[in-house]
Chain A
Amino acid sequence: MGVYLNFISSLILISAFVLVANKRINAYVRTFRLQSMLLAICAGMFGINNFLRGEGFELLIVCLLTIAIKVVFIPTLLKSTIKKVEYKVEKDFFLNIPVSILICCGLFLLTYFTVSGIEGLDKTDIKMYLVNSITVILIGLFFMISRKKAIGQIVGILIIENGLFTAAILSTRGIPMIIELGIFFDVLTAVLIMGILVFRINENFDTIDINKLKKLRG
Chain B
Amino acid sequence: MLLIIFAVPAIVSLLFWCTSNKRLLHAINLIGAVLLLIFSFVITINVASNGRMVFPYDGSFLYVDSLSAIVLDTILIVGFMSMVYSVGYLEIELKREVIDLKKMRLFYSLTYAFIFTMVLAVTTPNLGVLWIAIEATTLASAFLVGFYNNNHSIEAAWKYIVICSVGIAFALLGIILLYLSTPAFGEDAKSLAFNWYYLFNHASQLNGGILKIAFIFILVGFGTKAGFVPMHTWLPDAHSQAPSPVSALLSGVLLNSAMYAIIRILTIVNKNLGESLYTGRLLMASGILSVATAAIFILSQKDYKRLLAYSSIEHMGIMAFGLGIFTPAALFGVLFHMLNHALTKSMLFLSSGNIYLKYETRQISKVRGLLRAMPITGIVFLFGIFAIAGMPPFGVFFSELKIIFAAFNADYIVPAVILVLLLAAVFAVVAVVLLEMFYGDKSSETPPKGKINHLGVAVTILMLVLIVVIGLFMPQPLTKILTNAAATIAGK
Contact = CB atoms under 8 A, between A and B. Distances in A.
B176 A164 contact: yes
Interface of chain B: mostly helix, strand, loop or mixed: helix
Contacts of A120: 181, 207-210
Contacts of B191: 176
Interface stretch (A5-13, A73-81, A98-106, A197-205): A197-205
B173 A216 contact: no
A190 B165 contact: yes
A205 B151 contact: yes
Contacts, number: 123
A54 interface: no
Interface string A109-146: 00000000011110000100000001001000100100
A193 interface: yes
Nearest to A114: B213
A150 B158 contact: yes
Interface stretch (A17-25, A88-96, A177-185): A177-185
Given A176-B194, A182-B132, A204-B150, A213 B155 contact: yes
B109 to A, nearest CB: 15
Contact of B146 (A119, A150, A197): A197
Contact of A179 (B142, B151, B194, B240): B194
B162 interface: yes
B466 to A, nearest CB: 32
A156 B166 CA distance: 9
Interface in A158-179: 160-161, 164, 167-168, 171-172, 175-176, 178-179
B209 A118 contact: yes
B166 A197 contact: no
Contacts of B135: 186, 190
A215 interface: yes
A160 B297 contact: no
A2 interface: no
A98 B240 CA distance: 40
Contacts of A194: 158, 161-162
A156 B165 CA distance: 11
B154 A218 contact: no
B173 A134 contact: yes
A161 B176 CA distance: 13
B126 interface: yes
A26 interface: no
A197 B157 contact: yes
Contacts of B165: 157, 190
Given A126-B180, A141-B166, A193 B139 contact: yes
B210 A218 contact: no
A45 interface: no
A205 B153 CA distance: 12
A204 B169 contact: no
B372 to A, nearest CB: 30
B128 A161 contact: no
Interface of chain A: mostly helix, strand, loop or mixed: helix
A186 B149 CA distance: 23
Interface in B136-173: 136, 138-139, 142-143, 146, 149-152, 154-159, 161-162, 165-166, 169-170, 172-173
Contacts of A179: 126, 128-129, 131-132, 194
A107 to B, nearest CB: 15
Contacts of B297: 218
Contacts of B152: 215-216
A17 B209 CA distance: 30
B300 interface: yes
B237 A216 contact: yes
A137 B173 contact: yes
A210 B156 contact: no
A161 B132 contact: no
A134 to B, nearest CB: 7
A36 interface: no
B169 A164 contact: yes
A175 B209 contact: no
A176 B131 CA distance: 13
Contacts of A160: 166, 169
A135 B438 CA distance: 54
A35 interface: no
A31 interface: no
Contacts of A156: 166
A172 B157 CA distance: 34
A127 to B, nearest CB: 11
B234 to A, nearest CB: 10
Given A171-B176, A175-B194, A186 B136 contact: yes
24 contacts: A118-B210, A119-B210, A120-B207, A120-B208, A134-B173, A137-B170, A144-B162, A157-B165, A157-B169, A175-B128, A176-B191, A179-B131, A179-B194, A186-B139, A189-B136, A190-B139, A190-B165, A193-B142, A197-B142, A200-B146, A200-B149, A213-B159, A216-B241, A218-B301
Given A119-B209, A182-B129, A216-B155, 13 more contacts: A118-B210, A121-B180, A164-B173, A168-B176, A178-B126, A179-B131, A183-B132, A197-B146, A197-B161, A204-B151, A204-B154, A216-B236, A216-B237
Interface of A: 118-121, 126, 134, 137, 141, 144, 150, 153, 156-157, 160-161, 164, 167-168, 171-172, 175-176, 178-179, 182-183, 185-186, 189-190, 193-194, 197, 200-201, 204-205, 210, 213, 215-216, 218
